[in-house]
Amino acid sequence: MSSNSIKTLLPPATIGIVGGGQLGQMMALIAKSMGYKVGILDPTPQAPAGQVADFQIVAEYDDVDSLMELADKSDVLTYEFENVDEDALLKAKKVAELPQGVNLLHITGERLNEKNFLRQAGIPVTNFAAVSDEASMTDAIKEVGYPAILKTVSGGYDGHGQMDINSPQDIEKAVELYGKAQCILEARQSFIAEASVMVTRDVNGKVITFPLVENRHKNHILHTTIAPGRFSKTIHQKAHDYAETIANKLDLYGVLGIELFVIDDKDLMVNELAPRPHNSGHFTIEACNISQFEAHIRSICGLSIPQIVQEKPAVMRNLLGTDLTLARNLLKDHPEWHFHDYGKAEIRPQRKMGHVTVLGDDIDQLLKSIDMLKGEN
């Protein structure tokens, strides 16, 4: 089980969060309700998380002095996104607890590291190969075949930093990606659904998983999550088994999001890992006995975590760009909506501005309830 011992930190200890977006905001809100103090490092003044924290350090994420200042003011550090400077975190780790560690970022922040880790752990992944130049691109096509997706190994999200490789003609354009950065070529998978599961471990090394959910995307961005996912018992069991294996192999603390492809009623494979709470886990705030954010705070603070119970089915709908304005205007007519506005300063197209969650016994009815959000996405 656990090779790391984790220190128990009780309120009013200070939790420092690197990143001030909506994930940091929802972490901060639950931490504050539990009596913890919260500090944020984010370059945007009055960032969503900064609005609800005790203090915010306004600085870039690679500003080592500012990260050290956050560490000095905090008892424990956590991060809400992948692209944090590992060397800076190693320095900060000498000053404040860092239960998630740096290895988790090293693995999940680089796609080749992640795929190799999963393959070595015996978790099914799509076929893949490294691409750094014309020769390795040729070799990768021989290995992976068509159709495939070329992705940069780090950075890039919501469809950025990737391109489809469907024919030899696409290879000529591929130099635009691999000419700038190390890439990975992944075989495109046929699947019946996209899914995800959140997992964490508590102070005793016990693995806790949330329900497997069904995800629908538009323009590479999560649109709707249905919880629990409408899959076979075999798929639900496999997802939880994979999550447990991954959590133990990573010596995980904090919440990890695992994105999956459901191939058919019996098989699924892991697509990506996110070393933090995940957009598709927002339904847990209202639908579960504890949310993914409370589980994250409990895990990094060395507290025990109960088994997760979901009382009723739930549907979560992202509010992108001007969807937020539309949802605000419709709010008076929808008492069933659990409405979340992240408080971002500027509404931009395809930007995650908030979300709505609805609970009930009939998933089709829940989908109808959010169907009037026919806005941007």
**For residues 91 and 78, what is the distance between their CA atoms, to the nearest angstrom?**
14
Given the structure tokens 């829940």, which residue do they identify? 366
Common-topology check for domains 14-98 and 127-187: no
DSSP symbols for 151-193? EESSS--TTTTEEEE-SHHHHHHHHHHHTTS-EEEEEPPP-SE
| Buried/exposed 326-363: b ≥16 CB within 10 Å, e otherwise | bbeebeeebeebbebbbbbeeeeeebbbbbbbbbeeeb
pLDDT at position 375 = 56
* Average pLDDT for the chain: 94
CB 168 within 8 A of CB 183: no
Q: 255-283 pLDDT, tens per residue?
A: 999 999 999 999 999 999 999 999 999 99
Q: 3-50 pLDDT, tens per residue?
A: 457 999 999 999 999 999 999 999 999 999 999 999 999 999 999 999
The CATH H-level (homologous superfamily) assignment of domain 127-187 is ATP-grasp fold, A domain (3.30.1490.20)
Element containing residue 77 per DSSP (H, E): strand 76-79
How many Å separate Cα 280 from the centre of its chain?
Answer: 8
Q: What is the pTM of this model?
A: 0.95
Letter for the amino acid at 257? Answer: G
Pairing relation of β-strands 221-227 and 314-320?
antiparallel
Q: Is the Cα torsion angle 345, 15, 54, 339 positive or negative in sign?
A: positive
pLDDT at position 156 = 67
pLDDT at position 85 = 87
CB 21 within 8 A of CB 78: no
Strand-pair partners of 352: 320
37, two tokens: 């103090």
pLDDT at position 373 = 77
**For residues 248 and 130, what is the distance between their CA atoms, to the nearest angstrom?**
27
The CATH label, of 3.10.20.600, 3.30.470.20, 3.30.1280.10, 3.40.50.11890, for the domain at 193-369 is 3.30.470.20
Strand-pair partners of 222: 217
So where are the chain's domains?
14-98, 127-187, 193-369
* Per-position pLDDT tens, the chain of length 377: 344 579 999 999 999 999 999 999 999 999 999 999 999 999 999 999 999 999 999 999 989 999 999 999 999 999 998 878 899 999 999 999 999 999 999 999 999 999 999 999 999 999 999 999 999 999 999 999 999 999 999 876 656 789 999 999 999 889 989 999 999 999 999 999 999 999 999 999 999 999 999 999 998 899 999 999 999 999 999 999 999 999 999 999 999 999 999 999 999 999 999 999 999 999 999 999 999 999 999 999 999 999 999 999 999 999 999 999 999 999 999 999 999 999 999 999 999 999 999 999 999 999 999 987 775 44
96, two tokens: 């404040």
3-state helix, strand, coil in the chain (%, to 5): 30, 25, 40
Which class in CATH covers the domain with range 14-98? alpha beta
Letter for the amino acid at 74? Answer: S
Given the structure tokens 């370059």, which residue do they identify? 43
How many Å separate Cα 335 from the centre of its chain?
Answer: 29
Q: 213-236 pLDDT, tens per residue?
A: 999 999 889 999 999 999 999 999
